[in-house]
Structure 1
Amino acid sequence: MQQESPIRDLKGVGAALELKLQRLGITTIQGLVLHLPIRYQDRTRVRALAEVGPGDECVIQGDIQSTDIVQGRRRALVCRLRDETGGITLRFFHFAAAQIKILSPGKRLRCFGEVRPGPSGLEMIHPEYRLITQDEREVTEDTLTPVYPLTEGLPQGRLRTLIHQALEQLKIRGLNDLLPLEVKQHWRLPDLLEALLYLHQPPPSANLALLETGRHPAQRRLALEELLAHHLSLLKVRQQVQQQRAQPLPSMGELEARFLQNLPFALTSAQTRVSDEVSVDLSRSTPMLRLVQGDVGSGKTMIAALAALKAIGQGYQAAVMAPTEILAEQHFSNFKVWFEPLGITVAWLAGKVKGKQRLEQLQRIASGDAALVVGTHALFQEGVTFANLVLIVIDEQHRFGVHQRLSLREKGRDGRIAPHQLIMTATPIPRTLTMTAYADLDCSIIDELPPGRTPVNTLVISDTRRDEVVERVRAACSQGRQAYWVCTLIEESDVLESQAAEMAAQYLTESLPELRIGLIHGRMKATEKAKIMSAFKAAELDLLVATTVIEVGVDVPNASLMIIENPERLGLAQLHQLRGRVGRGSVESYCVLMYHAPLSQQGRERLRVMKETTDGFKIAEKDLELRGPGEVLGTRQTGLMQLRIADLQRDADLLPDVKQIAQAVLTHEGLSDAIIQRWMGSSEAYAQV
C-alpha cells in the first residue's frame, strides 16, 4: 500500500464516507493513521461493582434483578444489575418494546459506560450492552479502546474499523520513516510505525495519565516530526528569499548622524543594539528578513527611520506600511517632522487620498521624487509604481494578509532586485511562536523603555462602581490631563460597537458637562476620525470616547488615564495594546478595567494577569496559553499552526531539538520536502511572504 494512497482504496470506503473523512482533513491512508485518539477507554477488564465509583468509564457485568418502566419527569426503562459484590442501576430514556423483552430479569449482561450518582445509588445512563451466557468466559479487549475526533454521520465504531484496517496493511507493507537513523539514535526516538501502533492500540499497562496529557514518548515522537515540518517549511521560504539579490546598503552614516543630532533625546542602548543588527543585514546583497519586537512605547519607529535613511542616503526609496489610517497618518506626521529638515520628501498614500492629490502622490512615487512613502494597504494597489524601492517596513504585520505583503514585495522588484524587509510589532510574540511561526525571520527585541516612561498602574473595578470611575475621569481632566474611555465589542458588529460608544459618549457628556468630549468609532469616515484624533493630540479635547480602533499607534503623552469597559471581552494582547496608549509621558498613569459580573474563569484570569504585570512578553505567553496560536498570530499565515498533534505550549521544550534536527535533515537531499509534504501537504505554500 502506498502511504499517499487515497482513502477510497480502503475496503468499504465509498463516495459518501470519503466525503465525511475529508471533513476531518483525511484524504489519504497516511492521513487516516495520523488522526490520533483524543482519549482512551479501558475495556480490557471487567470491574467488580463494589470497585466502581462516580466518573469511572468501565466494563461491568452482572445478572438483571428487575426491569421496570418508571414514570418520573421523563419516562425511563430502569434495570437493576447485580454481581457477587454489589449492584448498580441501568437507565434508558429512549427504548423500544423489544428492549424490555431483551432486558428481562434473570439475563446476564455485560455493559460499558460512565458511572454516575443517581437517585438510588450509582447508575449508568444508556450504556453499551450485550447479553452473555452464564458460563461465558470474560472475553475483553486486548488493548485500550481509542476515542477519536468525529464528524457528523461518522460513528466511532466505523472510524475504529477503518484505522484498524489501515494499520494492519501498514504492518505488512511498512511505513516510510523519514527521520534519518542517526537522528533517531541520537534523540532515542521510536520508529514512526511503532509509535502509531502504540497510540492507536495501547496495551492495558499503558500510562493513561501520560497519554491523556500528550506527554507519552510515542506522542512526543509525532509532535516533534510535525513541528519539524513547520520549521523546515519556513527555512525553505528563507532559502528561497535568500537566493534573490538585494541592493547592499553599506552604512554611510551622514544622514543618520544628522537625524540623531536633531532628536531631543538619545537612543536607548537596546535601540542602538537593534539598529546595529539591522545595519549588518542591510549591508548584505541578500534580502534582510528581520522582525523587530518591542513593547508598547519602546521606540521601534526610530529603528525604521534609521533603516530608511540608509536606503535614502544612497539614492533609493523606502516604504512604510501600517494597517490602519490612524497609525499610517501618525507615521506620516512623525517622518515629515524628522525627514523634511534633512531635505527628504515624504509621500502619503491611503484610501482617503483621492483625485488630484492622489495623482500627485503617485507621480512623486513613480519619479523617485518621494524618497520615503508612508501608507496603508493602498501602497500595493495597482497603479502604484515605485522608482527604486529597496526597503519595506511593515508595522504590526500580523494585521496584513499574506497576499497584501506579497504585493508590496513585488513592487520592489525590477526583475532582479528584491527589497529588504523590516517587520515591526508592538504585540510581543511568545518565544515558542517566534521559534516556529517566525523561523524564516531573524528576530531582534527592544527590551528597554526610553527614560521618563512610567509603568501604568492597573485597577480592576466592577461596573457597579461606574460613578466612582466617572469622578476619577473628572479629577484627572481637572488637573490638565487627558483620558480615554474605551467601549469594547459587544458582538461581531461595527454597528453595535459604534452604538455602544455613542451611548457612552452621551452618558459622559451629561455626567461631565464641563469637559470637552470627543467620539471616535469604526463607522466614521477616515477624515472625521483623523480630525477628532488631531483635536485630541492638540489637547483641544479632554476625554476621548472610542472603540478599539485606537488600539494601535495613538501617541498622546498628556493622556494619563484609560477606562476600558467590559475588558473581559478582549484578548490579553489587545488589552495590553490599549493600556499602552497611556503612560507615554512622565506623569503617573492609570488603566481602569471596568468589568461586568459575572466573569468567566478565563475572564477572571485575563484581568488578574493585566493587574499583576505590564511585561508584554509575560502577557503574550499567557495569551498563547489562553487563546492558542491561531488567534494570537492573527492573519500572519493562512496555513500556519494548524497543528494536528503538537501543542506549542505543551511541546515548547522540543523546539531547540527541532532546530538541531532540521540542520541534520537538510543534509539529506529531498528529505525536507518529504517531511513537509507528509505533515502539511500543499498548505506549506502559505509561507510565501
Structure 2
Amino acid sequence: MGKPVPALAAAGDVGLTALPGVGKAVAEKFAARGLLRLQDLWLHLPRQYEDRTRITPVRLLQPGVAAQVEGRVEAVERGFRYRPLLRVAIGDDSRATLVLRFFHFRSQQVNQFRVGARVRAYGTPRPGQQGLEIVHPSYRVLDDEAEGELGDALDPVYPAIEGIGPATLRRLVAQALERLPPAEELELVPAARLGHGLPSLRDALLTLHRPPREADVAALLAGTHPAQRRLALEELLAHHLSLRRQRIALQAHAAPALADDGGRVQALLSALPFALTGAQQRVFEQIRADLARPSPMLRLVQGDVGSGKTVVAAMAALIAIGSGRQAALMAPTELLAEQHLANLRTWLEPLGVRVAWLAGKVSGRARTAVLAEAASGAAQLVVGTHALMQEGVVFRDLALAIVDEQHRFGVHQRLALRDKGAAAGSVPHQLVMTATPIPRTLAMAAYADLDVSAIDELPPGRTPVQTVVLGAARRPELIDRIRTACAEGRQAYWVCTIIDESDEVVAQAAQTTWEQLTAALPGLRVGFVHGRMKAAAKQATMLEFKRGELDVLVATTVIEVGVDVPNASLMIVENAERLGLSQLHQLRGRVGRGSQASSCVLLYQSPLSQMAKQRLETMRATSDGFVIAEKDLELRGPGELLGTRQTGLADFRIADLARDADLLPEVHRIGEALMREAPDIADRLVARWIGGAARYAAA
C-alpha cells in the first residue's frame, strides 16, 4: 500500500472559525447542522445547479426549464391586486417578450427597471396571462458598456442552513475549497484500487462544487456523475469499515465454545411432525459451526413469514443448553413472544428443558420465581419481551441471546440483552432474526458486521396465498365473501390504516369499519383491535380470535407481526395504497398458515400514484419476500426499509444504496484490503465521513 498517507491534511480538521466572516454565532449555526470542520464544508454538496454560463433567447425558453435570459425593459407595471405587484416586460433580439413578476420589492428596485435598461435574469419560466413569465427571478441590471461576462461554471445551490443566507454560504464554501490540500495529500484510497475510471477526491470535490459549463447536468441531478460516484464509493467504504471495525472489536472478546447438545437436537428432529427444509438445515449448520468457536457469533437469519426460523432458533438454544449454559429469546410484542413460548414448550419440555416466561405482565410471586430460576440456572431457556433487559434480570450463565424481529428493537436494547451474559471478558453468542427479507445489496451495506443467512425456502404444505387488487367500490362484494367464508367455519382479517375518521386522510377508519361490519354481519362475532388499546385488552381480543371465539378481526396494522391463526384464510387490507411493500407482505403472511386455500384482497382508493400502482402490481405478481424487498428498496430507499434509528443509513450524505448498489462489491474488496494492509488509513476514512458518531453496530 506504500508509505503512510499524511493525515487528512490537517487543513480539513481545522474549525470553521478559521474562515473570514465565521465568528462564534455563525459557527454555532453550522454546528447545528453537524458542520464543524473545513472538511465538513467540502462535503456539504450542492443539491442542484443553476446554469448562468449561457444566455437563452427568450423565444427558445421552455416552461419548467430554468434558464438565463438577457434583454431590455419594454414596459413596467406596478399595481396592487390583493397584494403589491411589480411586472417588468423584457425583450431580446429574438423578438419575444418575457415578464418578470415580483410580489416582494422595494421602491429602488422599481426605479432600476427604467424602459430601455439592460437586464440579465435567471429563473424558471411558466405560462402566464401574456406568455411566459418568471416569478421572483434572480437578476442584475447591466451597464450599457459592460460586457456582462458569463460564468465558466455552473452555480451551486446548497442545502439551506438556518440563519445563513445562500450567498454567504456559497462564499464560505468557496473559501473552504481554497484550502483543499493537493490531491496526493487528500487522497486516502490509492488510485490503483479505485477502478471504475473515477477521478481523484480533490477533482471530484471541485467538479461537484463548481461543475464546468459542459458538465452533464442530468447526471449531476441524478447522482450518477463520476465525481458523485467517487464520493459515494468512499462514503460507503467508510461505513463498511466502521461496521467491520465494530465486528473486530466484538470478536476480540471471548465467547463460550458450544458444541455438545447432549443428543437433544436429534431428539427434537425425530419428534417434530415435519422435516426441515434444505434451507433450514443449511442455516442451522452455519449456526452450529459459529457456536463451536470460542469467539462470539453475530448472525442475522432472515426468512419469509412461515419459513421456519423458530425451529432453527430452538435447535441453536439446545446446543447452548446441552453445553450446560442458558439461552434467552426476546421478541418485540407479548403476542409474538407468547407464540414462541408455546412452540418452544411443546418442542423442548418433552426433552427435559425448563422454558421460563418473563414479560411485563408477569408480576408478584410468579416474577420472583422466574428471576430466581434465571439467576440459578434452573431456567435453561427464558422467553420474553423487553422485560428480559430490565435491571433485576440476572442469568447464571447466558451463552446465547436470540432476538426476533430485530429491526423493532433499538440498538441499545439489543446491547442490554447481550450484556446480561457478559462476564470476565466473555460475551454470549447472538442470533438475530427477521421476517422482513433484506435485499442482498442492503445487507452488504447495513450488516457488514453480521454474518447473514437466508432461509429462502418455505416448508411443503404451505398453501400459496392468492392476491387480488380491487377498487374500494367493491367493498359490498367482500362483505358477502366474508359471510360465505365464515359460514364454512373459516375466519377473516379486515385491516385498516387508521383508527378514527379524519378529514385529512381519505381512508376508511377501523372504528367505522368495525361498526359497519358488525351491522352488516349480524350472525358473526366481529372483534376490533388497534394500537391505542391497553396491552391487556389487545392481547385478550387477539387470543379470542386465535381460539376461534371471533369470526372476523378488524384491526390496524398492529397485527402485522406475531399473529398465527391457521384457520384464518381471508385477509382484506383497506387503503392498501397507503402501505409499503414490506408491510403489505407481512400482513399477507397472516393468512395461508393452514391447509385451506387463502386469499389476500388489497382494496385501494383512486386515484393511485405511480408508486402505489407499482407496489400493488408487485404484490399481485409475486409472493417471494426477497423479490418484494428488492422492489421496496428501489421504490422507498433504505432508510424506510430498515428503520433509520437502528442503522444510521439515513445519515449518508452522498451515497444512495439503491442507486449505488453496484459499487458495494468494490467497497468490500477495497475495505478488506485496507483492514488487512493499512488499518491507519481505514481509521482516517472513518474519521472523515463518520467522525466520532457512536455506532452500536455490534448489537
Q: CA deviation at 1:513?
A: 1.6
Residue from 665, 671, 674 that aligns with 2:674: 665
Q: Give the distance between the partners of 2:698 and 2:678, measured in 1 at CA.
A: 23
Paired letter, 1:549: V
Match of 1:124 in 2: 134
2:239 and 2:536 map into 1 onto residues whose CA distance is 43
Give the alignment of 1:96-175 within 5 angstroms: 96-170=106-180
Moved more, 116-125 or 211-220: 116-125
> How big is the shift at 1:188?
4.1
Counterpart of 1:508, as a letter, is L
Give the TM-score of the pair, scaled to structure 1. Answer: 0.95
| Offset of residue 474 of structure 1 | 0.6
| CA 1:366–1:206: 2 relative to 1, 3 Å | same
Which residue pairs with 1:605 in the alignment? 614
> 290, 300, 308: which one pairs with 1:291?
300
2:390 maps to amino acid: Q
One-letter amino acid matched to 2:597? E
How many angstroms apart in 1 are the aligned matches of 2:464 and 2:28?
A: 55
Tell me, in whole angstroms, the C-alpha distance in 2 between the residues paired with 1:492 and 1:668: 60
Among 442, 446, 471, which residue is 1:433 paired with? Answer: 442
Kindly provide the CA deviation profile for residues 98-146 of structure 1, in whole angstroms up to 9, marking residues without a partner as x: 2232211121122222222222122222222222222322411121111
Q: Which residue matches 1:227?
A: 236
| Aligned counterparts of 1:530 and 1:207: Cα–Cα separation in 2 | 58
Mapped partners of 2:501, 2:448: distance in 1: 32
Residue of structure 2 in register with 1:385 after alignment? 394
In the alignment, which of 355, 358, 371 is matched to residue 362 of structure 1? 371
Identical columns (%): 55
Task: Compute the displacement of 1:521 (Å).
Answer: 2.7
Q: Pairwise mapping of residues 96-495 of structure 1 onto structure 2 (< 5 A)?
A: 96-170=106-180, 176-184=186-194, 186=195, 188-252=197-261, 254-489=263-498
The aligned counterpart of 2:599 is: 590
Native 8 Å contact 2:75 2:115 kept in 1: yes
Q: Which moved more, 1:222-231 or 1:271-280?
A: 271-280
- Whether the 8 Å CA contact 1:144–1:201 is kept in 2: the answer is yes
CA displacement, residues 494-541 of structure 1 (integer Å, 9 cap, x when unaligned): xx9xx9544433322221121123333334443433333333222232
| Alignment partners' CA distance in 1, 2:602 and 2:127 | 42
CA distance in 2, matches of 1:151, 1:335: 54
**Among residues 558, 561, 565, which one is paired with 1:556 in the alignment?**
565
Bigger drift between 194-203 and 45-54 goes to 45-54
Listed one character per residue, the Cα deviations across residues 157-207 of structure 1 (whole Å, up to 9, x for unaligned) are 1111011111112257985221134324x5544221111111111111111
- Secondary structure at the counterpart of residue 89 of structure 2: strand
Residue 81 (structure 1) aligns with: 90
| SS of equivalent to 2:570 | strand
Query: Counterpart amino acid of 1:327?
Result: L
The 5 Å alignment of 1:586-665 reads: 586-634=595-643, 637=646, 639-665=648-674
How is 1:37-76 mapped onto 2 (pairs within 5 angstroms)? 37-70=46-79, 75-76=84-85
Which AA in structure 2 matches 1:159? L
For residues 199 and 300 of structure 2, the distance between their equivalents in structure 1, rounded to whole angstroms, comes to: 36
SS at match of 2:657: coil
For 1:643-687, what per-residue CA distance to the aligned partner results, in whole angstroms no more than 9, with x for missing partners? 000011110000000000001211113111111111011224332
Q: Indicate how the Cα distance of structure 1 residues 526 and 84 shifts in structure 2: closer, same or farther if over 3 A, else same.
A: closer
Partner Cα separation in structure 1 for residue 86 and residue 139 of structure 2: 14
Give distance in 1, aligned partners of 2:683 and 2:181.
25
Q: Partner letter of residue 213 of structure 1? A: A
Letter in 2 for 1:329: E
Render the CA deviation track for 1:553-611: whole Å, top value 9, x for unaligned: 21111110011222233222111111100011221111112233344443333222222
Are the equivalent residues in 1 in contact too, given 2:191–2:200 (CA < 8 A)? no
What SS does the corresponding residue of 1:687 show, helix, strand or coil? coil
Whichever residue aligns with residue 100 of structure 2, its letter is L
Worse-superposed segment, 475-484 or 411-420: 411-420
SS in 2 for 1:605: helix
Separation (CA, whole Å) in 2 of partners of 1:505 and 1:200: 56
Q: Partners of 1:181 and 1:80 in 2: how far apart?
A: 54
Tell me how far apart the structure 1 counterparts of residues 69 and 656 of structure 2 sit (CA, whole Å): 35
Q: 1:577 pairs with 568, 579, 586, which one?
A: 586
SS at match of 2:671: helix
Q: Does 1:679 align with 2:689?
A: yes
Is structure 2 residue 24 aligned with structure 1 residue 24?
Answer: no
SS at structure 2 position matched to 1:154: coil
Question: What CA distance in whole angstroms lies between the structure 2 residues aligned with 1:47 and 1:413?
Answer: 69
Distance in 1 separating the partners of 2:330 and 2:501 = 26
Distance 1:635 1:357 in 2: 37
Q: Which amino acid aligns with 1:240?
A: A
Structure 2 distance, partners of 1:216, 1:490, is 45
Deviation of residue 492 (structure 1)? 13
How far off is 1:71 after superposition?
5.7
Rounded Cα–Cα distance in structure 2 between residues aligned with 1:84 and 1:533: 75
Pairwise CA distance, 1:35: 0.6
Decide which moves more: 316-325 or 23-32: 23-32
Return the letter of the residue paired with 2:408. R
Do 1:312 and 1:371's aligned partners in 2 also have CA atoms closer than 8 Å? Answer: yes
CA RMSD, aligned part only? 2.2
User: Equivalents in 2 of 1:258, 1:121: separation in Å?
Assistant: 83
CA distance in 1, matches of 2:578, 2:223: 30
Q: 1:510 aligns with which of 500, 505, 519?
A: 519
Alpha-carbon distance in 2 for matches of 1:43, 1:441: 49
Structure 2: gaps spanning 5 or more residues: 1-9
| Mean CA deviation greater in 20-29 or 213-222 | 20-29
Q: How many residues align?
A: 685
Which whole-Å CA distance do the structure 2 matches of 1:436 and 1:98 have between them?
A: 56
Q: Which amino acid aligns with 1:64?
A: V
CA distance in 2, matches of 1:259, 1:19: 62
Amino acid across the alignment from 2:162: E
Partner Cα separation in structure 2 for residue 305 and residue 172 of structure 1? 58
Q: Which secondary structure state, in structure 2, belongs to the residue aligned with residue 681 of structure 1? A: coil
Confirm or deny: 8 A CA contact 1:321 1:393 kept in the other structure.
Answer: yes
Does the Cα contact within 8 Å between 1:639 and 1:683 map onto a contact in 2? Answer: no
**Residue 20 (structure 2) pairs with residue 4 (structure 1):** no
Change (3 A) 1:127 1:501: closer
Q: Is the Cα–Cα contact under 8 Å of residues 562 and 579 in structure 1 kept in the other structure?
A: yes
Encode CA deviations 1:280-315: one digit per residue, 9 max, x unaligned. 111111111111110111111111011011111121
**Do structure 1's residue 535 and structure 2's residue 544 form an aligned pair?**
yes
- Pairing partner for 2:105 from 73, 95, 101: 95
Distance (whole Å) between structure 2 residues aligned to residue 393 and residue 492 of structure 1:
40
